[in-house]
Amino acid sequence: MTSSALEALLARVTDSALLDDPTAENGLVYGRANIDAAGTVVNVNIDPELEDRDDEDVDHDELIAALSRILGIAESRWRAIVDEVASDIEDAVGDEPVAEQIDIRDDLEAASVVVFADAVLLAFDAPKQFPDSRILVQLDEDLEIDGVEMRDRDDIETVEFDTLDELLDHISGPEED
């Protein structure tokens, strides 16, 4: 059963035509959409965080705006994100072996997007260099990178969080002293 806020969000997303065949269930609105700047179609989840707020506190305009921002991202900004992610990965990997020696920028493929009112999570695949991993990138409201993490696909587990802050803390990793 879906809440009235989720149904209202689904109606807004449907009216916006930003997602193909949007559906609402399990507290999310989801569908597929094209990110022109990336030249790819991705799975998109919109999370109104209903577990953290009352139905009337869900800001549909804010969620639609966040969705529109990431789907309509300028190509120059997209390239800057890819460059920064690639640099972070190159710094982290160093001399460790990769499956295939190519520029990571050419290997990164956007796979999915999760939209929150104040953050966006991107998931990238790098099938040639890191076929067993997924790269998670957290963006803030201005589409600036807040964190990059690489996860083994074998180690992917379902984890539930009570708040967006807990999710973002988990993705960001422990704070450094």
Q: 147 phi and psi, to 5 degrees?
A: -175, 150
CA dist 86 and 107 (Å) reads 10
Q: Quick one: pLDDT at residue 120?
A: 95
Q: Are 101 and 126 in contact (CB under 8 A)?
A: no
What is the secondary structure of 31-69 as a DSSP string? Answer: EEEEETTTTEEEEEEE---GGGS-GGG--HHHHHHHHHH
Q: What are the boundaries of each domain within the chain?
A: 4-170
Q: Three-state DSSP class for 128?
A: coil
Q: Quick one: pLDDT at residue 92?
A: 78
pTM value surpassing 0.85: no
Q: Quick one: pLDDT at residue 52?
A: 75
Q: Quick one: pLDDT at residue 158?
A: 47
Distances from the Cα of 52 to the Cαs of 35, 47, 85, 161, 162, in angstroms?
29, 11, 30, 10, 7
The per-residue pLDDT string of the chain (177 residues; one tens digit each, 9 = 90 and over) reads 347 888 999 999 999 999 999 999 988 999 999 999 999 999 999 999 887 776 677 888 999 999 999 999 999 999 999 999 998 888 877 666 655 567 888 889 999 999 998 899 999 998 888 888 899 999 999 999 998 988 887 655 545 555 666 666 665 555 554
Pick the closest to residue 164 from 144, 131, 141 (CA basis).
141
Q: For residue 62, what are its two tokens?
A: 């804010």
